[in-house]
Chain A
Amino acid sequence: MSVIQLAGIERVFHLGDSVVHALTHLDVGIESGEYVAIMGPSGSGKSTLLNLLGLLDRPDAGSYRLEGRDVTTLSPDEQAAVRSRRIGFVFQSFHLVPRLTAAENIGLPMMLAGIPAAERAQRVAQALKDFGLDQRADHRPDQLSGGQRQRVAIARATIMQPAVLLADEPTGNLDRATGDDVIHLLEALNERGMTLIIVTHDPKIGTRARRQLMMEDGELKSDSARPSMAVTAT
């Protein structure tokens, strides 16, 4: 079953008089448990696509079905609920709340979802162990290394056991070795069944994925799952 089904997606930005087609005629299907890398030059629409997949943004046209349900027509609160339970985000710049400890940052999605404190504590403790952060539970983000911060962010993104994990250049702010650790961590999560979608500039990371989507000027230029498409596009 397709976990993600995009059809005829358009996203247009108006900047004064100029019109930017950040995404045009986008038709993509992603199966549950897939490992997808989105690549392409700067400004090609990768982040726009990821924001759309994460329900942070709405398309101007087209339909988006997540786990078989049309999510573009949902109310903002319903979309928030979907983000809370079905989608996990990992960002290039980690986006940890500076005044909260590692444990509190990891527990944040559960707190927002209204899960009782006792259950939160238990699940956070488990996540800290799983991600090798037991010794860092009470550290604030500024007391953590970049790799540790991104591990906290991944723990946070997965604590609600989402169906889809979206990562926008998760290694962009990390050195090579730490970046590889983070990629291995994400791949391990994918092996346990989580759909993983990574935006990356790094070809090495891109080729590790089982499927590559190449973007250019808001269009899908090639899809390794459908090699014929590159021909039709040109």
Chain B
Amino acid sequence: MRTADVLRFARDAAAGYPLRTSLSVLAMAIGVAAVVVLTSLGDGARRYVVEQFSSLGSNLVIVLPGRSATGGFSPANAVTTTPRDLTVDDAFALTRLPSVRRVAPLAAGNSEIKANGRLREVVVAGTASTYLEIRSFKMAQGHFLPEADWNRGAPVAVIGVKIQEEIFAGRPAVGELIRLGDRRLRIVGVLKATGQGVGGLNTDEVVFVPVSIAMSLFNTNSLFRVLIEARSRDEIEAVKREVTAALKARHGGEEDVTVITQDAVLATFDKLLRALTAAVAGIAAISLAVAGILVMNVMLVAVTQRTGEIGLLKALGARGATIRDAFLAEAAMISLAGALTGYGLGLFGAFVLRQVYPVFPAYPPDWAVIAALATALSTGLLFGIMPARRAARLDPVQALMKH
């Protein structure tokens, strides 16, 4: 029998019993849709987290004063003792490393801002002109801190939008004078809203000043962080090595800083959420196996129902293999129809998820789609083999009598 004829025969046979066929298609479709929707959810969560972290800035390497016990990142490691200061000069020395594109020192502390007759507590971040580019922030008004010697910053400040709203009631603030602790600074720019919090530090509520001013304001010699941008993603590891070596040399051969990469943090979350997605997919795949068993039952019923027909086909000269192929093709078609319907349903489900939770990029990962479709087809075929072989082995005389 020709392949095209086998397929047409199987299709007509499946269509000949619409209720039975559509129920098994539905079962298969639900299984596939479950995999697609649940993995969309899992992978959406992963992407959401990854995107949140990525927005820290690209190719970022962060130096913390103090040595963490283990090499890896954990919240506990972030709190470290400070044996030796991480100074502005240390940070500046890093700008000369070959794999480093930009460096921004970061000193942080709380202070009182007084301007326009109002007073409020703010977070002050002492940094340099490079900070804007490293964090990929944009200005709403004016410009960021000017390029200058890190040890002799001009008396200027850049404020977040929230501070502009609260102190200047949204009026243009560039050129205004503020008092920060005992210093008088002139506002040169307003940062565009980022909505981002980093370590409980929402940049919309921060006042940025030259690092030297911040350090004398807080009367400290140690930086809070040094932010470094690698020349490329591939050079992140090189930066890590160079920075560690350079600071070790500057600190008398002692490794007393912690260098973390955004990648390390991301990789942990990425791995965790991928595992979660896979687990969820595995659970959903159980429904596929159930659907496969259902297809098997349906095909067994089909064989019993069509025993007379099978006997007839044999009498008309059909080989056992032909009959097996026809039933297998029928099982495959049911599975395929189920898989495609389920894929469509799953995509629709993911679409609905995205409408309901717009921040959530709920798209099914490619591997899940391929795995779901392949599992559906192979379970359908696998569970189709037994009924098909049973049909092929039927004794024609017995089969013909059952009519």
Q: Which residues of A contact B (CB under 8 A)?
A: 51, 54, 56-57, 76-77, 80-81, 83-85, 89, 91, 93, 95, 97-100, 108-109, 111-114, 116-117, 156, 160
Contacts and interface: CB of A to CB of B under 8 A. Distances in A.
A54 B13 CA distance: 26
Nearest to B393: A76
A95 B400 contact: yes
A89 B312 CA distance: 9
B313 A51 contact: no
Given A95-B308, A112-B1, A114-B2, A83 B316 contact: yes
Interface string B236-274: 000000000000000000000000000000000000000
A114 B314 CA distance: 14
B319 A111 contact: no
B320 interface: yes
A76 B395 CA distance: 11
A100 to B, nearest CB: 7
A154 B11 CA distance: 26
B195 interface: no
B73 interface: no
B202 interface: no
Contact of A80 (B13, B311, B318): B318
Nearest to A109: B316
17 contacts: A56-B400, A57-B397, A76-B320, A77-B319, A80-B314, A80-B318, A80-B320, A83-B315, A89-B316, A91-B400, A95-B312, A97-B309, A112-B317, A112-B322, A113-B317, A114-B2, A117-B5
A131 B316 CA distance: 19
B344 interface: no
Contacts of B403: 93, 95
B317 A85 contact: yes
Nearest to A77: B319
Given A76-B320, A80-B314, A80-B318, 9 more contacts: A56-B400, A77-B320, A81-B319, A89-B316, A93-B403, A95-B403, A98-B16, A113-B1, A113-B317
A111 B9 contact: yes
B8 to A, nearest CB: 9
B12 interface: yes
B397 A51 contact: yes
A85 B2 CA distance: 17
B320 A99 contact: no
Nearest to A93: B403
Contacts of B5: 111, 114, 117
Interface residues of B, number: 27
Nearest to B316: A109
Nearest to B326: A112
B57 interface: no
B282 interface: no
B396 interface: yes
B10 to A, nearest CB: 12
A81 B317 contact: yes
B319 A80 contact: yes
Interface string B1-43: 1101100010011011000000000000000000000000000
A57 B311 CA distance: 12
Interface string B314-357: 11111111100000000000000000000000000000000000
B332 to A, nearest CB: 19
A111 B1 contact: yes
Contacts of A114: 1-2, 5
A85 B312 CA distance: 15
Nearest to A98: B16
B315 A56 contact: yes
Interface string B267-310: 00000000000000000000000000000000000000000110
Given A111-B1, A114-B2, A99 B13 contact: yes
Nearest 4 CB-CB pairs, A to B?
Answer: A84-B317, A99-B16, A83-B317, A80-B319
Most B C-beta atoms less than 10 A away, residue of A83, A111, A117 = A111
B12 A156 contact: no
A100 B400 CA distance: 18
A56 B309 contact: no
Contacts of B311: 95
Contacts of A91: 400
A84 B397 contact: no
A97 B312 contact: yes
Nearest to B5: A111
Contacts of B4: 117
Most A C-beta atoms less than 10 A away, residue of B2, B12, B312, B320 = B312
A56 B318 contact: no
Nearest to A156: B316
A56 B314 contact: yes
Given A99-B12, A114-B2, A109 B317 contact: yes
Interface string B387-398: 000000000110
A98 B305 CA distance: 12
A108 B12 contact: no
Contacts of A51: 397
B396 A56 contact: yes
Most A C-beta atoms less than 10 A away, residue of B12, B319, B322 = B319
B90 to A, nearest CB: 83
Interface string B144-181: 00000000000000000000000000000000000000
Nearest to A82: B317
A160 B320 CA distance: 19
A138 to B, nearest CB: 14
A189 to B, nearest CB: 17
